Amino acid sequence: MNITEVKVYPVNEEKLKAYVAITFDNAFVVRDLKIIQGPNGLFVAMPSKKRKDGQFKDIAHPLNQETRNRLEDAIFDAYEAELRSMGDTLTSLKRQKGGGTYGGEAE
């Protein structure tokens, strides 16, 4: 499965830096990924849904580290390109590599 498009929608909030939509094989899109500023740098949060008990559960997520790395690389590349087009840069923002969890747990 190939990543064929990544759309980044920057926001101006303290922790939330952007929303992301990612398309696979020009045929399947996943929306509402988020780029978050965490204590150890930027990370990609998968789309999630709040459960009745108040916890968040991922509704889509990679099943292994290799896939997560491919997604993060494509997303951070697109995010940096979007920032550059706006005249900003990621030089002051540290990236948190592989910051997610698996099995549907919220980040």
DSSP state of 87: T
Q: What is the tally of structural domains in the chain?
A: 1
Place of tokens 């509704």: 59
21 domain residue, yes or no: yes
- Tell me the pLDDT of the chain (107 aa) as tens digits: 899 999 999 998 899 999 999 999 999 999 999 999 998 889 999 999 999 999 999 999 999 999 999 999 999 999 999 988 887 655 555 566 555 443 334 43
16 domain residue, yes or no: yes
100 domain residue, yes or no: no
Q: Structural domain of residue 19, as residue ranges?
A: 3-49+57-85
45 domain residue, yes or no: yes
> Phi and psi of 93, rounded to 5°?
-110, 125
Q: What pLDDT is stored for residue 29 in this prediction?
A: 96
74 domain residue, yes or no: yes
95 domain residue, yes or no: no
73 domain residue, yes or no: yes
Q: For position 68, which CATH number holds?
A: 3.30.1120.40
